[in-house]
Structures are given as C-alpha cells and as structure tokens.
A = this chain, B = another copy of it.
Amino acid sequence: MTAFEKLRIQNLSGKYIAIGLDTDINKIPQHLKSLTNPVLEFNKLIIEATKDLAAAYKINFAFYEAEGKTGIENIEKTLSFIPSNILTIADGKRGDIGNTSEMYAKAIYDRLQFNSATLNPYMGEDSLKPFLNYKDKLNFILALTSNPGSNDFQKSEQKKGGFLYQSVIQKVIRWNTFKNCGIVFGATNPDELKSNIESFGDLPVLIPGIGAQGGDLEKITGILGKFKNINFLVNVSRGILYKNNSSEFALAAREELLKLNNLIKSYL
C-alpha cells in the first residue's frame, strides 16, 4: 500500500489528526524523569493511548537530534510502537543538492522506514528529486508555513503574478508524477487556504499550526470540508502531548484527540 493510500483510508474512516511527537524532556511529566529513557516512555504511553484514534504520527527530528545518539535511537524505537496502518511522517524539512538529498532520503525512507517526510523547496527540483523517486512514500513540501516568518519570502509577490508559495504549489503539482507529493499549508492562514484550495488539485495537505500557534480548527476544516477530493492531516503537537502534566497525561491526550476528532467531524 502506498503512503497516499494509507492516508486516504485514514481520512475515509474519519481520522484526520497527526500527532506531532515533539517530545521535549523539559515538558514531560515530572514522574517520568527518573526513568532511564523518559522520552521513549512518554512516546510509548502517548502512542498506546491514541493509536486507535490517530491518523498519523509526525516525528520532528529537531527534538531528537538535541539528544544526540539517544535521540536517534529514540526515533527508531518510537517508530516500532506505531501500528503499520498509521502514517509516519519524518518532519525534518530537508532539502540539499542531489547527492546529499539522496543521503537524507536513504536515512529517512530506507534506514528508518518512514512513510512520509516534510521537505523544504528553496533549493528547487533536483534537491527534492531523490525523495520524489520513492514512489510509495508521501513527500509534503513546504508551501505556506504557520509561523510569522512566512511573510518574509513565501508571501513575496512574483513579477509573473502570484506569491512565491503559489509558485511552489504549481511546481509541486508538476512534480507529482507518482502521486507521492503533498504540501504543507499552515492553519494560521485560513484566508489563503480558502482562496488557494481550488489550485491544490488532489495534493494531500499537511496542516500544522493548530493549538499553541493559534490556528483556527473550525475555519480550516470548514474550508476543507467543501473539497471532498482533498485528503488532509491536521497536526497537533503541544496541544495533545502536554494537555495534562500529571500521571494522567496519556489519558488526557486521548481525550483531547477524541474531542478534536469529534470537532472536525462536526465542522466538515
């Protein structure tokens, strides 16, 4: 099964949330900190409590690289807890010259066996190609991100018309020969989502920025609901992981996810 099909099945069964495992040792419950590997135990308990309700788990590499080789081992071990029908996303926003990107793609898709990755388009087509050559994977390319800095370049107007992020979307559609591309579109941009969604074609959309970053779930899913051909994932990280800081954190994460799933169903 391709990663795209996996996502489609999740969406068809009413699951739209990607849980971002941005696990920060300074933010996890105090009672876990005396364990040998608190981050891994935290991830394990979160996954156990949410795996029947989550569409995907997104692992942001920054949080693991900050822990050195233990962090890298924790990525591998965390992946082993995730059931195979759930999409796994390597959130590294990679992109480099061809022979280098090939190494990143090997690390993410061959060694770690992720289903999907986030990529940065700044260096253009040949920097993404090694990832796009994996036909069964799903490559989410940054279009319009959820942070304030998206104004600096992504929203710069092009001489030929449109904004830079719109040029990125148009190129991604052209690069999507194997139906293995998608885009990242931040939830903090509902107006832009509304005015651009018809240009997405059938590209799946990964939507970060709900929760801590202030994106409006109702607005965003209200817009997406009008386009039944579009598969999407709403990423929530801190809003689920750190909902409750007691020994009940995993249950609280589950309840938050359940609440979000129900909200999305009601908005769609």
A residues contacting B by CB (< 8 A) are 22, 24, 60, 62-63, 65-66, 68-69, 72-73, 76, 93-101, 103-104, 106-107, 111, 120-128, 142, 145-154, 156-160, 164, 167-168, 171, 208, 213
Contacts and interface: CB of A to CB of B under 8 A. Distances in A.
Contact of A123 (B104, B123, B149): B149
Contacts of A160: 156-157
A132 B124 CA distance: 25
A123 to B, nearest CB: 5
Count of identical protomers in the assembly:
2
25 contacts: A60-B103, A62-B94, A62-B96, A62-B103, A65-B104, A66-B104, A66-B107, A68-B107, A93-B120, A93-B123, A98-B147, A123-B149, A123-B154, A124-B147, A124-B148, A124-B151, A124-B153, A124-B154, A152-B171, A153-B167, A156-B159, A156-B167, A158-B158, A158-B159, A164-B164
Given A68-B72, A103-B63, A168 B153 contact: yes
B153 A121 contact: yes
A94 to B, nearest CB: 8
Contacts of A168: 153
B126 A149 contact: yes
Contact of A122 (B104, B122, B158): B122
Contacts of A164: 153, 156, 164
Contact of A100 (B63, B73, B76, B128): B63
Given A65-B103, A126-B149, A145-B123, A157 B158 contact: yes
Nearest to A110: B66
Given A22-B100, A123-B149, A147-B98, A73 B69 contact: yes
A227 to B, nearest CB: 26
